[in-house]
């Protein structure tokens, strides 16, 4: 058990990297996908089931947890790991992104963001300082800087102004985080789809110094083409010896393209959220289980998948429980999707070790049909 936070690069294939992040609560194999446990639960999953899918680390949302049940309450009850019965590493976001998308009556100033809770209308303020306090109360292992993420498309000046605010907030986050051995603070690169602003942000963050570096400001409506154009240069601007975390990504082909371009960690609600809407992701494409054509289909979602849904149930059954609104529908489809995502990450880690990432990517693209299967 290590008392420190460290990142060890084990192999590289082109710009794709394989490594391990060591934390006091366990190791994270990279490239890693983090399931999202927004309100102290990965929806429709028991923690032991999340672990069974192969996930090493979860993401928790500061915005949701500070409003309900409250960070002080979680601290009093022993911290987020104890509270949600997850003993492995947890990364918490800093709240800024969700305040801007979920809260009401937001007011953004140099100090931070004041807002009303979407839960009960109560007034709150998030700033670099309060976000660091909240994430400390939650007890997360990887803490994210408090930043501002502009929606794209946006003009150059707006992106520049927002990025520079986020860099001032990164310094304040670093100062407020203090010295917490075994806990990590990640900076978040901003700069939209403007290469020189991305470079300015990367330099500013390295000046301050962080344990890892996130690529923020993407997956905000720009589309995969622009996202990949930014990922063709942004990861390389960040220190090679620290983890690179792409926030909010994504569909399986987004993830493969991001790992190819040097990303080490990702998180996304897609596999869990789409599981609840009847959308299954498989190596051969998507299965929309609510479609009537599955009503008599005795086959599993994916013959090659070893998850409980594919091992024990037919498409006909999954179609039935989805159409009937049965709770097991969300359980089985979420489990399958998270299992598939983790299998994808494991295959990429193996391919990078074997120096066969290009062959993996070619096979990944060849197997997938664009439409439903
Ligand atoms: C916590 N800070 C922070 N979170 C984010 C979450 C995101 N989630 C997406 N797409 C689903 N893009 C994101 C960007 C950021 C970002 O730039 N900053
Ligand atoms: Zn499956």
**82-89: average pLDDT:** 98
List pLDDT tens digits, range 8-21: 999 999 999 999 99
Give the relative orientation of helices 357-367 and 252-260 as an angle to the nearest 10 degrees. 160
**272-290: average pLDDT:** 97
Minimum-distance ligand 1 atom for the alpha carbon of 62: 1
Q: Is the per-residue pLDDT at 209 higher than 80?
A: yes
List pLDDT tens digits, range 314-363: 999 999 999 999 999 999 999 999 999 999 999 999 999 999 999 999 99
List pLDDT tens digits, range 111-133: 999 999 999 999 999 999 999 99
Whole-structure pTM value: 0.98
Substitution candidate for ligand 1 out of 63, 149, 222 with most atoms within 8 A of CB: 149
Complex ipTM value: 0.99
Residue 156 Cα to ligand 1 midpoint, Å, equals 19
Cα distance between residue 149 and residue 159, in whole Å: 9
Cα distance between residue 131 and residue 8, in whole Å: 28
- Residue tagged active-site, from 147, 193, 264, 267: 267
CA nearest ligand 1 atom 2, residue: 97
Cα distance between residue 177 and residue 208, in whole Å: 12
Residues with CB under 5 A from ligand 2 (ion): 305, 307, 309-310, 336
Q: Is the per-residue pLDDT at 1 higher than 60?
A: no
The pLDDT-based confidence of 152 (bands split at 50, 70, 90) is confident
The upper half-sphere exposure of residue 372, i.e. CA atoms within 13 Å in the direction of its Cβ, equals 12
What pLDDT is stored for residue 299 in this prediction? Answer: 98
Cα distance between residue 109 and residue 176, in whole Å: 18
Residue 319 Cα to ligand 2 midpoint, Å, equals 14
Contact 86, 58 (CB under 8 A): yes
For residues 372 and 12, the model is more confident at 12
């Amino acid at each position: 058990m290590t008392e420190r936070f460290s990142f060890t690069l084990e192999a590289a294939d082109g710009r794709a990297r394989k490594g391990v992040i060591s934390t006091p609560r366990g190791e994270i194999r990279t490239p890693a996908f983090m399931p999202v446990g927004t309100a102290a639960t990965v929806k429709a999953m028991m923690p032991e089931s999340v672990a069974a899918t192969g996930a090493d680390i979860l993401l928790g949302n500061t915005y949701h947890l500070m409003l309900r049940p409250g960070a002080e309450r979680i601290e009093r009850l022993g911290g987020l790991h104890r509270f949600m019965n997850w003993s492995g590493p947890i990364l918490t976001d800093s709240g800024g992104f969700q305040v801007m998308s979920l809260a009401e009556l937001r007011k953004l100033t140099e100090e931070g963001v004041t807002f009303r809770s979407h839960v009960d209308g109560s007034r709150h303020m998030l700033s670099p300082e309060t976000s660091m306090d909240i994430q400390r109360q939650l007890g997360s292992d990887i803490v994210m800087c408090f930043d501002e993420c502009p929606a794209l498309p946006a003009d150059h000046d707006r992106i520049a102004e927002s990025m520079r605010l986020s860099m001032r907030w990164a310094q304040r986050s670093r100062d407020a985080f203090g010295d917490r051995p075994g806990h990590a603070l990640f900076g978040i690169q901003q700069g939209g789809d403007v290469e020189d602003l991305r470079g300015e942000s990367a330099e500013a963050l390295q000046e301050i110094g962080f344990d890892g570096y996130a690529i923020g400001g993407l997956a905000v409506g720009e589309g995969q083409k622009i996202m990949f154009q930014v990922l063709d240069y942004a990861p390389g601007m960040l220190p090679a010896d620290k983890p690179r975390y792409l926030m909010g990504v994504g569909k399986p082909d987004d993830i493969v393209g991001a790992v190819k371009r040097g990303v080490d960690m990702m998180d996304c609600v897609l596999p869990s959220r789409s599981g609840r809407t009847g959308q299954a992701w498989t190596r051969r494409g998507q299965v929309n289980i609510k479609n009537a054509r599955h009503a008599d289909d005795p086959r599993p979602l994916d013959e090659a998948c070893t998850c409980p849904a594919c091992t024990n149930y037919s498409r006909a059954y999954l179609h039935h429980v989805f159409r009937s609104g049965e709770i097991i529908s969300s359980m089985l489809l979420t489990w399958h999707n998270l299992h598939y995502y983790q299998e994808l990450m494991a295959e990429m880690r193996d391919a990078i070790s074997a120096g066969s990432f290009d062959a993996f990517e070619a096979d990944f693209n060849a197997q997938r049909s664009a439409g439903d299967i």
